[in-house]
Structure 1
């Protein structure tokens, strides 16, 4: 068993997901928890350097945090609101 603790950098608040995002995860036998864990620990996924820096700044200044993860040929986005009240998992076309 791996006892390595995940460093949680911020609160997710209430977590919600769109039906399409959940369907994509299910189709690829992935769970929301694995991507939420990456998001919350500062693994922003498939973001350009500028967006990664914006997230690093958001941790300090309380702005919105955005991550994007590839699942085969598809992508999911995870967005945590600036006030950390909620986090949404969605597909890019649903934004």
Structure 2
């Protein structure tokens, strides 16, 4: 495992059990320190990744809840009766006049 760490091959070190590694009684202090440091750094990174994923899931859930809360209001508004034809004509004329004034 230490050879993989020295070669900067974290994938191999992880496959060899880096996350569960314990200090080796037969190794010197520098070897054990490097092993424990690498293990702890990976555990911190994995915890950070898990927090990030949980945050993303929470934000997606909140977004879905907000959209669901807005959906009934949108369906009620779209179910409102249309304007009578005389009112719709008057509105169309007013909008045309307003566009004409702004285009000048």
TM-score bucket of the superposed structures, by smaller chain:
under 0.3
Which has a greater percent of strand?
1
- With normalisation by structure 1, the TM-score equals 0.16
Which has a greater percent of helix?
2
Larger relative contact order (CA 8 Å, sep ≥ 6):
1
